[in-house]
Homo-oligomer: A and B are copies of this chain.
Amino acid sequence: MKDANEILKAKGLRTTASRSGVLEAFRAHHHALSHSDLEKRLGKAFDRVTLYRTLNTFLEKDIIHKVLDDEGSAKYALCQHSDGDHHHNHVHFKCRVCTTSECLTEVSIPGIKLPEGYTSASANLLIEGVCIRCYGKE
């Protein structure tokens, strides 16, 4: 996988401590992170406002995408392939034991037959259950 610097360069963004830090945090975790998850992980290295702006910039540049969640708070995860609108048609899995969310990139969403007159542009599936790491712990 590309390193933080390469990702930023490819998107025409400057390399800064906060951006690298956020990217590394995403790369170090297989599951989706919320704004507050990131704040905890990154400590007080930089301002909360910078984190808001960093996340928005990354969303615009398709470096990260939003992960759907039952609960309120938005979570984010790295986009795996940085081309096209791949980031639609994701399957996200949320474990009810450890409460983490992850993208199941290898799982694809089956074709859904919509009612007459409806057309689909993208689909996001959120599955809740128990992940492999928590199997048996329930």
Collect the chain B residues with CB atoms within 8 Å of residue A119's CB: 129-130, 135
Interface residues of A, count at CB 8 A: 37
Interface CB pairs A-B, < 8 A, 7: A66-B70, A68-B68, A93-B114, A96-B121, A119-B129, A120-B128, A123-B127
Q: Does A49 contact B (CB under 8 A)?
A: no
Main secondary structure of the interface of A (DSSP, over half): loop
Collect the chain B residues with CB atoms within 8 Å of residue A135's CB: 117, 119
In the complex this chain forms, how many copies of it are found? Answer: 2
Q: A114-B129, A120-B128, A121-B128 are in contact. List 11 more A-B contacts (CB 8 A).
A: A104-B114, A107-B112, A107-B115, A118-B129, A118-B131, A119-B130, A121-B129, A121-B130, A122-B129, A123-B126, A125-B126
Interface string of A66-89 (1 = CB under 8 A from B): 101110101000000000000010
Collect the chain B residues with CB atoms within 8 Å of residue A114's CB: 93, 104, 107, 127, 129
B110 A132 Cβ-Cβ under 8 A = no
Bound form: Cα–Cα A128–B123 in Å: 6
Interface string of A17-46 (1 = CB under 8 A from B): 000000000000000000000000000000
